[in-house]
Amino acid sequence: MLKKERYAAFIDYFTHHMPVAETELVYENPYQLLVAVVLSAQCTDKRVNMSTPAIFRDFPTPQHLASSNFDELFPYIKSISYPNNKTKHLLGLGKKLVEEFNGEIPSTVEELIKLPGVGRKTANVITSVVWNQPNMAVDTHVFRVSKRLGLVTQNAKTPLEVEKQLIKNIPKKHIHIAHHWLILHGRYICLARKPKCLECPISHFCRFFEKNKSSLIDLENTLPPSKK
């Protein structure tokens, strides 16, 4: 199957079967989403969602973060991965937003990456989710799934290389939601260690399945019913 055909099949399937796809982080405004995404680095959305209600309640604006300190904020974040760094990032982020952006969340990738704790991936998430901009955030799920499906080449070694290939080939109007399609498929079907290939609804255009179909079917046939 040609790459062009894979992309067409990818878009066709998800536009019909997942026309609405959103982040699983819980938020009510751009500020809350920014905080949640910064906290979600190398941490599950589920864990972040357990911690953010208290943060949003007691630090409801960038101004509240800017006027806080490490000892005050850290207890809210200590159950999340890398709490020391993330506490420092949020404090710096709050101050930067107040001092340079009048407490407003920037709407461009170029401005967002100036904030502490905000890299290109986070900036792409914010701009695509909040403003539906055609930006592709490449996390571990997007990186893995796009390569397995055959949407990007195997020699794409960095998130930026994957991002560029996806942006080039996905129609502009679908880019912001395609990010969620790839993430959710990777989170629930195309798992890192044991992808659920034989129950995957898009295996018919998946390069990984094409190459491993025989061995996957043989493995399935040797498993006892309780393991299937």
Q: What is the pLDDT of residues 12-29, one digit of tens each?
A: 999 999 999 999 999 999
Hey, which residues are catalytic here? 121, 139
Torsion of CA 65, 66, 72, 74, to 10 degrees: 60
The amino acid sitting at 49 is N
pLDDT per position as a tens digit, 155-203:
999 999 999 999 999 999 999 999 999 999 999 999 999 999 999 999 9
Contact 143, 166 (CB under 8 A): no
159 vs 145: CA distance, rounded Å: 12
Rounded to an integer, the average pLDDT of 85-95 is 97
d(CA 197, CA 217): 9
Burial of 181 (0-12, 13-18, 19+ CB in 10 A): buried
Does position 224 have pLDDT exceeding 50, yes or no? no
Query: Do 115 and 93 contact (CB within 8 A), yes or no?
Result: yes
Answer whether residue 57 shows pLDDT above 90: yes
Could you tell me if residue 55 is inside a domain? yes
Closest among 209, 180, 207, 197 to 5, alpha carbons compared: 207
Q: Which of 131, 157, 181 is the last residue of a domain?
A: 131
Q: What is the CATH number of the domain that holds 190?
A: 1.10.1670.10
Q: Is 222 a member of any domain?
A: no
**What predicted TM-score, i.e. pTM, was given to this entire model?**
0.89
SS3 of the chain: helix, strand, coil, percent, to 5:
65, 0, 35
DSSP secondary structure code for residue 197 in this structure: G
Instruction: Residue 207: give the domain boundaries.
Output: 3-20+136-212
Considering its fold, how many domains does the chain have in total?
2
List, as residue ranges, the binding site.
190, 197, 200, 206
Question: For residue 148, which of 217, 207, 88 has the smallest C-alpha distance?
Answer: 207
Q: Is residue 217 part of a domain?
A: no
Task: Please name the residues in contact with 144: beta carbons below 8 A apart, sequence gap of 6 or more.
Answer: 186, 190, 192
Known binding positions for [4Fe-4S] cluster: 190, 197, 200, 206
